């Protein structure tokens, strides 16, 4: 009998890589998707288009306990990966209330429904290095005190504590992965890495002339999302539920990312990048660098993609996509 997994946020970057990974491992994969009035299936399901005949999708909304309860009552899930969230930090400063509501209540509803209906189902919560915020220690590990700097970070701290509370209060197998930034060609365009690589491609093809960014000095520990979803799965296979930092242990500035990405296309970032205050945040997280030694030791997890490889893969993929759109032959064989 294959194991049944439920993924919330299956249409997102991480959800799509995780669904692929679990399918490869022989799982029956279910996903929760929002029902929206104006469907654009090509866009909404773009990241899982190649999986649509292999996964089972259910309509539910994280704002509705009833809809979550309904789906969980119908399938005996072994594992649940709760990835869905309002995950864009900048947006959380604009609409903190929606971010809090979706991220905190959504997590609480998932936990409460599982407790009621499937207490044996193992639960993964997508924690975040944003929880460290104004960092109290370098590098950050599982025991580093939390000091979130955004409504998003606060919502993730609440989800993290809720998850731990369900573990401690009800004996459920509930874990949080404290994932540092993880990227790849499927990353949303609003995040800085994809904003950079997609604009580099457009500049290279003559479709754009500049790239407007906020704080170039912010430093992040950037890994590849395909590596990080393997850690999520490993966390749910352990004998005892626990929380883990997942990171590469390297930090780079947004400026360094720009430098490499433009260089990959044979360009100098200094000729194109302009600072635009509208992309600066009211409170910034200046430095993130993770210590994943516990995950390496206990899960046997390792990242495989280096920072230059990540940048290269993203630039090449965007060059290919943009060239296809624009009908430029030269870049069509590059990237994947």
Report the catalytic residues. Answer: 128, 130, 152
Q: How far apart are CA 127 and CA 142, in angstroms?
A: 11
Binding to ligand G4F by residue 238, rule CB under 6 A?
no
Rounded to a whole number of angstroms, the minimum distance from the CB of residue 3 to ligand G4F is 27
Whether the bond into 139 is cis, omega within 30 of 0? yes
Site for ligand G4F in 305-334 (CB under 6 A): none
Binding to ligand G4F by residue 91, rule CB under 6 A?
no
Task: Kindly state the tokens that stand for 71.
Answer: 């789906």
Among 215, 253, 293, 321, binds ligand G4F (CB under 6 A): 215
Rounded to a whole number of angstroms, the minimum distance from the CB of residue 214 to ligand G4F is 3
Among 48, 55, 236, 254, binds ligand G4F (CB under 6 A): 254
Among 5, 135, 192, 292, binds ligand G4F (CB under 6 A): 192
Q: How far apart are CA 87 and CA 83, in angstroms?
A: 9
Cβ distance to ligand G4F smaller for residue 254 or 323: 254
Task: Kindly state the tokens that stand for 121.
Answer: 């189902």
What DSSP line would sit under 105-148, residue for residue? IHHHHHHHHHHHH-TTSEEEEEEEGGGT-S-SSSSB-TTSPP--
Rounded to a whole number of angstroms, the minimum distance from the CB of residue 220 to ligand G4F is 6
- Cα-based distances in Å from 303 to 10, 246, 256: 22, 9, 20
Helix boundaries (H) for the chain: 13-24, 41-44, 65-74, 89-94, 96-100, 106-117, 151-170, 192-204, 225-235, 254-264, 293-294, 307-326
- Of the ranges 73-81, 211-219, 234-242, 321-329, which one interacts with ligand G4F (CB under 6 A)? 211-219
Binding to ligand G4F by residue 180, rule CB under 6 A?
yes
Query: How many chain residues are in contact with ligand G4F, going by CB under 6 A?
Result: 24
Q: How far apart are CA 124 and CA 113, in angstroms?
A: 14
* 3-class secondary-structure state, position 35: coil
Binding to ligand G4F by residue 245, rule CB under 6 A?
no
Rounded to a whole number of angstroms, the minimum distance from the CB of residue 13 to ligand G4F is 9
- Give which of 246, 318, 249 is closest to 14, Cα–Cα: 246
Binding to ligand G4F by residue 129, rule CB under 6 A?
yes
Question: Angle, to 10 degrees, between the axis of helix 65-74 and the axis of helix 106-117?
Answer: 40
Cβ distance to ligand G4F smaller for residue 241 or 288: 288
Cβ distance to ligand G4F smaller for residue 67 or 144: 144
What DSSP line would sit under 168-237, residue for residue? HHH---EEEEEEPPEE-TTS-TTSHHHHHHHHHHHHHTTS-S-EEES-TT-EE--EEHHHHHHHHHHHTT
Cβ distance to ligand G4F smaller for residue 175 or 285: 285
Rounded to a whole number of angstroms, the minimum distance from the CB of residue 89 to ligand G4F is 4
Among 122, 195, 303, 316, binds ligand G4F (CB under 6 A): 195
What is the distance of C-alpha 117 from the center of its chain?
A: 27
CA pseudo-torsion sign 184, 187, 176, 6: negative
Over the window 276 to 295, marking each residue x when it contacts ligand G4F by CB under 6 A and - when it does not, the resulting string is: ---x-x--xx--x-------
Among 213, 247, 260, 314, binds ligand G4F (CB under 6 A): 213
| Helix or strand run (H / E) with residue 33 | strand 28-33
Among 61, 67, 87, 248, binds ligand G4F (CB under 6 A): 87
Binding to ligand G4F by residue 214, rule CB under 6 A?
yes
Cβ distance to ligand G4F smaller for residue 90 or 207: 90
Binding residues for ligand G4F, rule: CB under 6 A, are 87, 89-90, 128-130, 180-181, 190-193, 195, 213-215, 218, 220, 254, 279, 281, 284-285, 288
């Amino acid at each position: 009998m294959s194991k049944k997994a439920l993924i919330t946020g299956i249409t997102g970057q991480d959800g799509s890589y995780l669904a692929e990974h679990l399918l490869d491992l022989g799982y029956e994969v279910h996903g929760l998707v929002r029902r929206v009035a104006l469907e654009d299936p090509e866009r909404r399901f773009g990241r899982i288009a190649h999986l649509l005949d292999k996964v089972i999708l259910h309509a539910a909304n994280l704002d509705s306990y009833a809809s979550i309860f309904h789906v969980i009552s119908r399938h005996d899930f072994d594992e649940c990966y709760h990835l869905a969230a309002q995950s864009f930090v900048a947006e959380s400063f604009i609409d903190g209330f929606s971010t809090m509501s979706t991220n905190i209540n959504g997590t609480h509803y998932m936990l409460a429904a599982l407790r009621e209906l499937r207490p044996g189902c193992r639960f993964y919560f997508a924690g975040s290095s944003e929880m460290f915020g104004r960092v109290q220690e370098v590098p950050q590990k599982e025991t580093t005190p939390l000091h979130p700097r955004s409504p998003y970070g606060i919502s993730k701290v609440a989800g993290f504590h809720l998850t731990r509370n369900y573990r401690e209060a009800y004996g459920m197998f509930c874990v949080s992965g404290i994932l540092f930034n993880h990227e790849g060609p499927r990353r949303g365009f609003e995040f800085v890495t994809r904003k950079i690589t997609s604009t580099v491609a457009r500049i290279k093809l003559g479709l754009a002339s500049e790239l407007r960014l906020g704080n170039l000095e912010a430093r992040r520990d950037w890994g590849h999302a395909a590596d990080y979803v393997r850690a999520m799965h490993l966390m749910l296979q352990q004998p005892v539920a626990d929380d883990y930092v997942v990171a590469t242990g390297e930090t780079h500035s947004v400026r360094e990312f720009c430098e490499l990405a433009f260089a990959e296309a044979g360009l100098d970032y200094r000729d194109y990048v302009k600072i635009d205050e509208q992309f600066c945040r009211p409170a910034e997280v200046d430095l993130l660098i993770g210590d994943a030694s516990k995950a390496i030791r206990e899960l046997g997890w390792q990242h495989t993609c280096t920072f230059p490889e990540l940048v290269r893969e993203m630039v090449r993929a965007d060059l290919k996509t943009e060239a296809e759109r624009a009908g430029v032959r030269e870049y069509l064989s590059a990237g994947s």
